[in-house]
Structures are given as C-alpha cells and as structure tokens.
C-alpha cells in the first residue's frame, strides 16, 4: 500500500509566506513522490472555531483553494477536498469524542493558553472558550483517522495534536478490539518548520507580522519585505546572519549555495537595504509564476468549486465504507444483526495489557506498557529514532525480559541494558506486586 500523506489548512485567513513555506510547499513536494497518496483539505470546520466572521471564512476557502492549486497541487493526482463536504468527518468526530478522555483535552496547549490568558486577566477561566476550541484536537483526529493517514506534515505547533490523534486512535482500537486506525506520524519540515515574521516572532496572522503570498501582488510583497525588522548595523559593518530573521527567510527559499553566499555577504558587511532587495528578487523568482496562476483561478470560482466537489467524491469513496465499518464496530448496526464476535473481541481486548507509543516533551520517542486497567507498568527510555523505539517495544513483546528491582522502583532489561522503568512504588510489598503485574502483562504478549 502507498503511504498516505494528509494535511489540512484552516480557512480563517489569507495565506501568507509562512503557510506556504511551512505547510503548502512541503506537502505538495511530498505529494509528487512515488508511492505517496496525498490528501489535502481545507479545514473549514476548524475555521468556525477561530472566527464567526462568515465573509472571512467564505473568502478564505476560495483563496486557499486557489493558492494550493496555483502552488502546483495536481487535483488528478492528489485528493483535494473541503472538510465540510465530507459528512463522515463530523460523524467520526463524535465516535472519537466518546472515547476521548476529557483530561487529555484539558492538557491541549491551545486550550490551556486561553485559560492562562483568562486567569491573567482575572476573568472566568473559561471565558470566551467554546466547546469547539476545547474539542478541536478531536476534530483534527477525525480528519486524519478517517483516511488512515500514515504521515501528517504540519507546523511545530501541531505536534501535540498529532500525539493526541495517536492516543485517541489507540484508545478506539483498544476499546473496540481491532486495528481500525493507523497511528499517524507527524512530519516536520526541519529547515523551514516555522518561518519568522517581520518582527522575528513566528509568522502569524495573530501577530500581524506576515508577508503576503499572492494577495496584493508583487507590490505588497515588496512593501512587507521592506518592513522586516533588522538591527541598526550600517552597510559595511559585519552582520550576525545566523540570528537575523531576514536570513532565515532567505534561506527558506534559496538553494544551499545561495544561502551560503548570502550569509557570507551579510557577514562581510552587505547593507540591510541590499539584503532586502536580494530577498525580494529571490521571492519573485519562486512566486511570480504561481501568482499569475492564482489570479487566473480567483477569477473563476466555479471552476474551483467543481474541482473541490470532485475531490470530495473521491475522498468519500474511502470515507463512506470506512465509517460503515466503524458504526458497526461501536454497535450502530442494522437491527437483527447482533454480532457475538464483536462483543467477545471487546472483552478480550479490554482484559489485555498494551503498549502505547508517544513522543515526549523533548521530542523523543518512547512507549509505555499499560496494564489492562490503564495503570502504567513501564515507561521506556527516550529514543531519537521512532523505529528504534518500535524495535525495542517488539523485543519486549517477543523476547525474555529481565525485571529487576531498583530502589523502590524497577527496571526492564534486554541484554542487561535497561530499556524501561517502572514507577516508584514507595514500599517493598507494592513493588513486588507491581513487578508481578508487569511480568504477567509481558507474558500476555509471548507466543
């Protein structure tokens, strides 16, 4: 099976350079690779979480569709659709909502940030927070899981949402006793993951520091570039290129050689004015052709509408049969077809211990061994490579593992190397019991 790559873009604004370099460009590049089935969609339900300005949502859907098409997306090759044209997405969202622990959502950065802001302002912690915002990660999980995407290219700020999608998928799989969902992996374009804006902070509409992509034409692009904040070093003075966000912007559009030359020129005294001029030229080289296509598309919205509806039809060829299977799994079945097998599968599953992989705060890959009731029995050491974490996890399932007490905690060793730790049990009796439960859990995987 081909690798499914899926990404969505929220239709609440006009695309800027950061959206292009951080999301659109890498996604389109990935979609052109052999062995890849790409799914790109306009996350217009997500837009409703951010704004109640209907004109802005409507306009943004059009602009974003035109942008992706102008940027080289081939709707014949890629499945390109609007979220709101796929009724199976909100349907799956509900199925997932019902297996998502509220505590998991309480920990979402976006929600927590809003609560913190309210607390700082001294107003009610939930002031202005809709259920849409609170449940945002579940809708996003539905977007991804409905198409069983393997890889999801997103910005850094979305890593936590991907972890949540994996958690939710694992929970659903576990509860309903089968691998319904693929566990999606996040893909971050390391070089250009988040582009800095005019003031050096992350380029974002909310900071009002964006460089427009196509809107306003070459003139608007130039005006924005001229407003990029630099330090006060004069022409002739060496610049600190590495810490100049102007250089980071340049690098995102240049070849390695061009970036190196530009950097060297700054370090040997190129003036900021000349540097901005060079950045303008570089951007025009990439964007001028696309901008012309964009303007053409914007003039023919019906053409875009047809493309999107055809995309939705293609997407629903997958979504409709899959949601039928999921409805079956949760018990929303045709009357008279009660399935004994389904019920017993669930029982077996809920009695079983399980491994759950995740990405920790530092970005490393780890896994936990959980008892049937969810108690944490082991947490792995961090791994830089997800494949390595996966390999160790499989070894724990298939090879003899030694468990050894360590203080009031314990460790699991493979070839005498500690690969995972148990919690501190506080007292010997509890430690002994935990060791026994861990041994029993590991035994369920053997054979």
Annotated binding-site residue numbers for ATP:
10-12, 18-19, 155-157, 195, 202-206
Which residue ranges make up the annotated binding site for L-tryptophan?
Answer: 143
Q: Give the range of 97-105, 147-155, 187-195, 329-337 binding ligand TRP by CB under 6 A.
A: 147-155
For Cα atoms 394, 98, 5, give the angle at the middle one, nearest 5 degrees: 55
Side-chain half-sphere exposure of 108, counting CA atoms within 13 A? 24
Taking Cα atoms as reference points, which of 293, 236, 285 lies closest to residue 258? Answer: 285
Residue 47 beta carbon to ligand TRP: minimum distance, rounded to whole angstroms? 9
Binding of residue 188 to ligand TRP (CB under 6 A): no
Binding of residue 213 to ligand TRP (CB under 6 A): no
- Binder of ligand TRP out of 17, 71, 144, 287 (CB under 6 A): 144
Q: How far is CA 353 from the centre of its chain?
A: 28
Residue 32 beta carbon to ligand TRP: minimum distance, rounded to whole angstroms? 19
- Binder of ligand TRP out of 152, 164, 425, 442 (CB under 6 A): 152
- Binder of ligand TRP out of 28, 43, 193, 213 (CB under 6 A): 43
Instruction: Please answer whether residues 81 and 308 qualify as being in contact, where contact means their C-beta atoms are separated by less than 8 angstroms.
Output: yes
Binding of residue 138 to ligand TRP (CB under 6 A): no
Binding of residue 270 to ligand TRP (CB under 6 A): no
With residue 163 as reference, give the H or E element that holds it. helix 159-175
Strand ranges in 337-390 using DSSP code E only, listed in sequence order: 354-359, 365-370, 376-380
Q: Which is nearer to ligand TRP, 49 or 270 (CB)?
A: 49
**Which tokens is 204 given?**
């974002």
Q: How many helices (H) and strands (E) does the chain have?
A: 17, 11
CA dist., res. 113 & res. 184, Å (int): 25
Binding of residue 158 to ligand TRP (CB under 6 A): yes
**Which tokens is 122 given?**
């001294």
Residue nearest to ligand TRP (CB): 8
- Binder of ligand TRP out of 7, 14, 79, 97 (CB under 6 A): 7
Taking Cα atoms as reference points, which of 169, 167, 99, 177 lies closest to residue 349? Answer: 177
**Which tokens is 155 given?**
């910005």
- Binder of ligand TRP out of 10, 11, 60, 67 (CB under 6 A): 10
**Which tokens is 60 given?**
């943004």
Residues recorded for the chain? 447
Residue 244 beta carbon to ligand TRP: minimum distance, rounded to whole angstroms? 27
Q: Which is nearer to ligand TRP, 156 or 421 (CB)?
A: 156
Measured in Å, how far apart are the chain's first and last C-alpha atoms?
28
Contact flags string 72-111 toward ligand TRP, x per CB under 6 A: ----------------------------------------
Binding of residue 154 to ligand TRP (CB under 6 A): yes
Binding residues for ligand TRP, per CB under 6 A?
6-10, 43, 46, 140, 143-144, 152, 154-155, 158
């Amino acid at each position: 099976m081909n690798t499914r790559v899926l990404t969505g873009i929220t239709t609440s604004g006009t695309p800027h350079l950061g959206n292009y370099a951080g999301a659109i460009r890498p996604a389109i590049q990935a979609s052109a690779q052999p062995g890849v089935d790409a799914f790109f969609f306009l996350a217009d339900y997500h837009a409703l979480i951010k704004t109640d300005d209907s004109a802005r949502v409507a306009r943004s859907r059009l602009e974003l569709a035109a942008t992706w098409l102008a940027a080289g997306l081939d709707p014949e090759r890629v499945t390109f659709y609007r979220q709101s044209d796929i009724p199976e997405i909100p349907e799956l969202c509900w199925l997932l909502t019902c297996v998502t622990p509220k505590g998991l959502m309480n920990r979402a950065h976006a929600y927590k940030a809003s609560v913190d802001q309210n607390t700082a302002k001294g107003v009610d912690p939930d002031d202005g927070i809709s259920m849409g915002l609170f449940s945002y990660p579940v809708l996003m999980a539905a977007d991804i899981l409905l198409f069983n995407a393997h890889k999801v290219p997103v910005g850094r700020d979305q890593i936590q949402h991907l972890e949540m999608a994996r958690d939710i998928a694992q929970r659903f799989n576990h509860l309903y006793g089968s691998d319904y969902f693929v566990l999606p992996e996040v893909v971050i374009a390391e070089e250009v993951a988040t582009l800095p804006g005019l003031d050096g902070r992350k380029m974002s509409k909310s900071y009002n520091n964006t460089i427009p992509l196509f809107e306003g034409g070459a003139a608007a692009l130039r005006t924005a570039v001229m407003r990029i904040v630099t330090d006060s070093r004069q022409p002739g003075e060496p610049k600190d290129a590495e810490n100049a966000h102007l250089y980071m912007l340049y690098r995102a559009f240049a070849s390695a050689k061009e970036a190196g030359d530009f950097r060297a020129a700054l370090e040997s005294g190129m003036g900021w004015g000349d540097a901005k001029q060079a950045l303008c030229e570089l951007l025009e080289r990439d964007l001028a052709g696309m901008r012309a296509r964009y303007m053409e598309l914007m003039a023919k919205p019906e053409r875009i509408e047809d493309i999107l509806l055809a995309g939705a039809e293609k997407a629903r060829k997958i979504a409709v049969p899959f949601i039928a299977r999921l409805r079956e799994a949760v018990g929303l079945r045709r009357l008279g077809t009660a399935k004994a097998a389904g019920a017993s599968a669930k029982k077996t599953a809920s009695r079983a211990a399980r491994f759950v992989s995740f990405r920790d705060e530092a970005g490393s890959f780890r896994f936990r061994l959980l008892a049937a009731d969810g108690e944490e029995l082991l947490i792995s050491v961090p791994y830089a490579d997800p494949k390595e974490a996966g390999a160790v996890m499989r070894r724990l399932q298939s090879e003899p593992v030694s468990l050894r007490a360590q203080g009031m905690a314990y460790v699991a060793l493979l070839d005498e190397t500690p690969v995972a730790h148990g919690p501190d049990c506080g007292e010997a009796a509890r430690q002994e019991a935990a060791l026994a439960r861990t041994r029993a859990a590991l035994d369920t995987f053997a054979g």
